[in-house]
């Protein structure tokens, strides 16, 4: 029970803290930052919207809203999917890459301060193993 209560507390408090840091320092909510980082992890900086929604852990409707906001800022562009006329592809623009380069150091520092500074290398390895076991059942939803 204690382990579960700790997990739920971390799941509630950590996103709020990360969202606050990104809004204060970069003017962007964590959910939108996550979309940008997901795109930046792709070789060409682009991903089909349905796949991006799945990876970001959100609905296609919420993702579409987030991408619209990011498009307004010039950080993402949408285009038709070349292999499926019904689909769309989101692509990180040069301005989006520049924004991430400027926002990432502060965000990484906050993640380290809140999480990794409190863990040993062995703790981090165990955390990676534990979360890898949990993710498959959550990503199938």
Which helix (H) or strand (E) is 88 found in, with range? strand 88-92
pTM for the full predicted model: 0.87
pLDDT digits 0-9 by tens, 34-70: 999 999 999 999 999 999 998 888 899 999 999 999 9
Class of domain 23-139: mainly alpha
Q: Name the burial class of residue 130, with classes exposed (0-12), middle (13-18) and buried (19+) by CB atoms within 10 angstroms of its CB.
A: exposed
- Mean pLDDT, residues 113-141 taken together: 91
Q: Where are the domains of the chain?
A: 23-139
pLDDT digits 0-9 by tens, 76-117: 999 998 888 788 999 999 999 999 999 999 999 999 999 999
70-98 in b/e form (b: 16+ CB < 10 A) is beeeebbbbeeeeeeeeebbbebbeebee
């Amino acid at each position: 029970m204690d382990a579960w209560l700790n997990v739920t507390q971390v799941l509630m408090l950590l996103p709020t803290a990360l969202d606050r840091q990104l809004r204060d320092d970069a003017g962007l909510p964590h959910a939108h930052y996550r979309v940008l980082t997901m795109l930046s992890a792709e070789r060409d900086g682009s991903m089909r919207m349905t796949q991006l929604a799945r990876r970001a852990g959100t609905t296609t409707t919420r993702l579409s809203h987030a991408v619209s906001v990011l498009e307004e800022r010039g950080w993402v562009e949408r285009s038709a999917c070349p292999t499926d006329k019904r689909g769309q592809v989101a692509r990180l623009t040069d301005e989006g890459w520049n924004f991430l380069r400027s926002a990432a150091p502060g965000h990484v520092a906050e993640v380290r301060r809140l999480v990794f500074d409190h863990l040993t290398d062995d703790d981090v390895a165990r955390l990676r193993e534990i979360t890898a076991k949990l993710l498959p059942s959550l990503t199938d939803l």
